[in-house]
Structure 1
Amino acid sequence: MDQEALRAAFDEQMRRNPEPEPDGRVEHDDWVTRSMSARDGWNGVTWCDLRGVDADAVIAEQVSRFAQQARPWEWKHYSYDEPQDLPDRLLAAGFTREPAESLLVAEIADLGLDVPPPPGVELREVVDAAGVEAVVSVHDEVFGGDHSALGRNLLAGLALEPSTAAAVVAVAADVPIAAGRVELPPGTDFASLWGGGTVAAWRGRGTFRSLVAHRAAIASARGYRYLQVDAMPASRPILQRLGFVELATTTPFTYPG
C-alpha cells in the first residue's frame, strides 16, 4: 500500500470534496473546504492548506462564517496539515482541542470478512425507524449524550437512493448491545466507519470485530475499495490486527455556537 498516494486520494475525495450532509452544503475557498449543515448534520472545516497565506486571518474568516449558523462546529485537523503550528493558532483563536484519533485505512479486499458474531448475538441491518432508534439507544449508553440528531440524519441517509449510509445493530436476547454505521459517499473509493460502540457487559467477546467485518462487506458489495475510520485508542489495536494501517492522526478543534 502506497501510503503517500493513499493519503493524497483521501484528501482529494473525502476532505476537499466531501459528501454534503442531508440538510447541508459544501463550500470551497482557495484555502479551506467547509461542510455547512442547517440543522442536524456535522458543521466544520474538512480540509485546509494555509501555506503562504495569513493563517490567522483565514481562521478568523471561518469563525465569522460559521457564526451565521449559530451552532457549534469543528475544525478537523490532520497531523500533516500546514502550517505545522496550526493547532496553536486554533487554540489562540478560541478553539478547544478534543482528544486525538488515528486515521486508519484498509483495502477491503485485504480484510478477512468472515468474522461471525459471538454465540447468542445476531447482527441486523437497519432498515426502518425502529432500527435507527436501536442505534441511537446504544450510542447514548456507550458514548454518553443525546444522539437523536444522529438518528434523524441516519434516517435521511437511508431514505436516499442509492442510500449514502447503512447501519448494523448487534442484538442479544432481542436487546441491542452494539451498533455501528458505515457512510457510503457516492463517487469515491472510500467508505467510512462510524460508531461501533458496544455496551460494557459485551465487550471483549468479538462483537466489535464482527460489526467491522459486516460493514466492510456492505461497502464491498457497493463497490468501495477502501474502508476508513477515525479510531480511538481502545479500538485502534483491534482494527490494526484486522489489517488497517495508520495514515495520520486527526484532532477535532471545536468552537461554540
Structure 2
Amino acid sequence: MASTTLPGAAALTGLRARARSARRFALIALTVAIAALATTQVLAERAPTREGTRPLAWLALALFALAVPALAATQAIWGARARRVREGERALYGRPSSGARGPAARLGVAGCWLVTLLLGFTVPRLFRESALYGIAESLAGAIGVLAPACLAAGVLFALWWTRETFAGRTRSPHDPWDPGQEGTRRVAAWAGAAVTTAALVGARAHLWEPATWLVCALLVATLVSVVVTRE
C-alpha cells in the first residue's frame, strides 16, 4: 500500500496505461499488415487469369507501401512511451521494470518485421505473373536497393538486442508496483490472432493449401480477434 501513495505514483500509472495502449496499437498494426498481405498474395496466386491477378498485385503493393510507415510510426510511439515509463520508474523507485518479457517482445516484433518484408519482397513476382514486366523490374530494382539496408538494420538490431538483454539481467525480474496483466479475454484474442495469422503465412509459404473460402475466413477471424483486444 505504501508504494501506491508515493508522490508521482498516479502519474506513472497513467504513463504505463498509455504505453500499454501504444503497444496494443503497434501489435494490431503488425498483425493486420501480415494477415492482409499474406491473404492478398494467396488470392493473387490463385487467380485464374493474368487480368484477375493484376488488381490483387496492385492491392498487395499498396498494402506493403502503407504497412511499412504505419508499423514504423506505431512502434516509434510505443518505444517513446515505454522510455517515459522507464524514466519515471527510475525517478520514483530507483529502478526500471524489466524481465524476460521485454527482450522476448522485441525479438518477436523483429521477427514480424522480417515476415512483413519477405512478403513485400515477393510482390514483384505478382506483377511478373500479371505480365506487367516493366513494373515488376522497377520494383525488383527498388528491392535490390532496399535489401542491403534491411540487412544492415537487422544486424544492428541483433547487436543492440544482445547488449540490452544482457545489460538487463541484473535488474528487477518484474514490476512489483504495476504488473499490467492483460485480461483473460484479451490474452485469448491475441492467441487467436497469432494462430490465424500464422496459418495465413503458412498458406502463403505453401506449407499447407487451405480452400479459398478458408483463407478469407482466417483473415476475418484475425480482424475480429484484434478488435476484441481493443475492448
TM range (shorter): under 0.3
TM-score (norm 2): 0.25
More strand by share: 1
Q: Which has the larger radius of gyration?
A: 2
TM-score (norm 1): 0.23
More helix by share: 2
RCO higher in 1 or 2 (8 Å CA, sep ≥ 6)?
2
